[in-house]
Chain A
Amino acid sequence: MEVENIVIRAQEGDREAFDELYSEYKRPILNYLYRFIGNRHCAEELTQETFIRAYINLHRYEPRAKFSSWLYKIAGNLARNFLRHASYDKRVRPVKVDPYATGEFLLTENIGTRERGPAERAQAKETKALIQQAIDHLPAHLKEAVILCDIQELSYEAAAKIMKCRPMTVGSRLWRGRKKLAELLNYIKNGE
């Protein structure tokens, strides 16, 4: 309810209210885009673009859906367009599923630092790079489901609103995404 009030204030032209919304949602959107694209710089650019578009089109937002869903929708569209763009392949997409043979960004990215100890950290880093790379290889619609439900930990219903489909479709995309991811990460050998 509180968010909705801020949105209404922002719609009336209150830039401070919009700044509040921005600082509230910039990190989830950034992470969503980062997982979607797999490149930090591009994700940051697209995050900014998402909020610029949100600001310009704020009058079009109707409080029937959650504000965050609306933002995710904008970000998702931007990300899909970005991936569809021809130059994307040359610029960021890793060619092989081999953490040692990929571009430097994967190894330099700081995906997670919860583990302690240099050996463990290196191991964890490698795993996380591998996971991100596997995510990169998923088709966009499966990727979206995996990111929203497994990484961002949204419910089927919330994800369905963002993806503009029914909750069961989310479920089906999710299991197919997981399966493919598992295959890619060699958790499952020789498939089902």
Chain B
Amino acid sequence: MKCEIKFKDISLYLDGRYSQKKREALQVHIADCPRCSKKVDEIKTLRASLTRLVPIEESSGFDFEFNRSLDERLRYRKEHDWKAKIQGAASNIMDSIVMPMPAIVKVAASFILVFSLAWSIRAQALQKMPFIEFSAGEARIYRQATNNWIATRPKMRLKAGDKIKLSAGAVVNIASKGRYKARIKDESLIVLSKLNSGLRNIDTDFSISYGKLLVNTTDKFKGSSMRIYTPACDAEVVGTAFIVEVFQNRTWLGVLEGRVRLLSKVHPLKAGSVKRLSTYVSAGQEASTMPYLYSTVPKLLSNREWKTMLELYQLVEKPQVMLLLGTGPNRVDEFLERPIPVYIPDAVRRVTPKELLEAIDIVKQATREGNIELVKKNTLRLQGLLERYPSPQYSVEILMFIASQLHYVHDYIAALEVLEKVSAQYPDSEFASLAQCSIATIYQNNFKDIDKARMIYSQLITTYPGSADAIRAKEMLSPQR
């Protein structure tokens, strides 16, 4: 007969874990079975030898060592336990705010705190992400996730890799709240190739295959970056408003404010290897480039181009009348060359008296017709209206506008009067130095009074040493002239 009893059974039997009945049965079996009784002996011996192991005693100095290390550890914790300090301070504050508070309320409050914090950080990050503000005409967007072209709709958030395709006559406005606004127009294919959002800034890269992109950045853009890749160049933005147009691989860039760096790719045969040549295009200038060719030298925007650039101001409206002028040292020439265009945003239009706006339109019309009498009459009326309704939003700008119109119709004396008014009444405005510079230029060119001109130039250098017009004045005073 084969014995079915296992090591496990004997071990548990010896430990007294079996019921009375089973124990008795095993007892009977063990007495008969020599194999099992041998196992019992073995386990008993093992147990006995384990039990007989004499406990060791701690070595001398053990207690002393223990007390020393405990004290040391406690001291260390006291010094380094900043968590406990913060917790203590926080709980003190909590206790002082709400005295007895159940634990569940505390837990709930901390959850709400953590969630609201996370939510606000997320909202902050999302707020900066560009989205479609407005779209008209046939505009479609390709998204890799959906893998097909879908129609654009407002409030759609853009992701890196999105392609936007517009048919003729369509417009899509893209906005990154507080950072920049961009507009895609007409027949265009533009890819949002990169989109990185930091805590404060946002880096956006667009690639234009063909079409037109208008960008206007705001003051908060500082620290963010934007690059625009076209078949012919890369344009890098330094806080600015500009238009990029790609037509049959030719890239045209017009800048209204700030400046844009244009990196053209030069053909390997011309430059040894593909080389990037950078040109800075400043405010009021335009440049164009073709693939693998040097870009054209930036030159002043033509009148017709100015008009197209006006659209940029519709993107980011500042509550301020704008004179469409560059900011460089040559702005005097621009200012005196033609009747300077003025742009009145809707925000200003709403708060400006109607008769003032009408008067401006009449002056514009009269200048266009070359009706000197009408221009003189209406500029006088406009000056009267400005005195009646002065406003920091437009006073200086409209006076400069008047001066420009008067100069254009060759009424230099009246123009001088207005310019002197600007430099006397608004010495802190950004146009004060321009007004002085214009006065000097008028004396020099139209009255041939060089001494008077030189005097005003040197005055200008001392009064506005940092301005762009001072650079111009220094140029005019230099001995070569």
Contact = CB atoms under 8 A, between A and B. Distances in A.
A75 interface: no
A109 B42 CA distance: 26
Nearest to A155: B15
B50 A174 contact: no
B53 to A, nearest CB: 6
Nearest to A187: B42
B15 A51 contact: no
B75 to A, nearest CB: 12
A70 interface: no
Contacts of A128: 53
B19 to A, nearest CB: 14
A150 interface: yes
Contact of B50 (A51, A52, A150): A150
Contact of A178 (B46, B58, B74, B77): B46
A188 B42 contact: yes
Given A22-B66, A30-B56, A175-B8, 4 more contacts: A131-B49, A171-B15, A175-B11, A178-B7
B58 A27 contact: yes
Query: Mostly helix, strand, loop or mixed at chain B's interface?
Result: helix
Interface pairs A-B: 10 shortest CB-CB:
A112-B54, A175-B11, A150-B50, A31-B55, A48-B66, A175-B8, A187-B42, A179-B7, A52-B70, A151-B50
A23 B66 CA distance: 11
B58 A151 contact: no
B314 interface: no
A57 B73 CA distance: 13
Interface string B134-159: 00000000000000000000000000
Contact of A26 (B8, B12, B58, B77): B58
A97 interface: no
A142 B171 CA distance: 76
Interface of B: 6-8, 11-12, 15, 17, 42-43, 45-47, 49-59, 62-63, 65-66, 69-70, 73-74, 77
A110 interface: yes
Contacts of B54: 111-114
Interface string A8-49: 000000000000001100110011001100001000100110
A10 B37 CA distance: 51
B56 A110 contact: yes
B56 A111 contact: yes
Given A31-B56, A112-B54, A131-B49, A178 B43 contact: yes
Given A48-B69, A151-B51, A182 B15 contact: no
B2 to A, nearest CB: 13
16 contacts: A22-B66, A26-B66, A30-B56, A40-B59, A52-B73, A55-B70, A111-B54, A128-B53, A131-B49, A150-B46, A156-B15, A175-B7, A175-B11, A175-B12, A187-B46, A188-B42
A131 B65 contact: no
Nearest to A51: B66
A169 interface: no
How many A residues touch the partner, as a band? 35 or more
Contacts of B17: 156, 171
A192 interface: yes
B59 to A, nearest CB: 7
Contacts of B77: 56
B46 A52 contact: no
Given A52-B69, A179-B7, A131 B50 contact: yes
A27 B11 contact: no
A123 interface: no
Contacts of A127: 49
A151 B53 contact: yes
Contacts of A30: 56, 58
A131 B53 contact: yes
B57 A181 contact: no
A185 interface: yes
Contacts of A179: 7, 11
Interface in A129-171: 131-132, 146, 149-151, 153, 156, 171
A55 B69 CA distance: 12
- Which residue, B11, B50, B74, has most C-beta atoms of chain A within 10 A? B50
B67 to A, nearest CB: 8
Interface in A84-135: 109-114, 127-128, 131-132
Given A34-B56, A188-B42, A56 B51 contact: no
Nearest to B39: A188
Nearest to B48: A150
Contacts of B52: 112, 114
Contacts of B63: 23, 26
Contacts of A149: 15
- Which residue, A23, A127, A182, has most C-beta atoms of chain B within 10 A? A182
A77 interface: no
Nearest to A124: B52
Nearest to A132: B53
A113 B49 CA distance: 13
A66 to B, nearest CB: 20
Nearest to A55: B70
Nearest to A53: B73
B13 to A, nearest CB: 10
B56 A192 contact: no
B395 to A, nearest CB: 73
Nearest to A32: B55
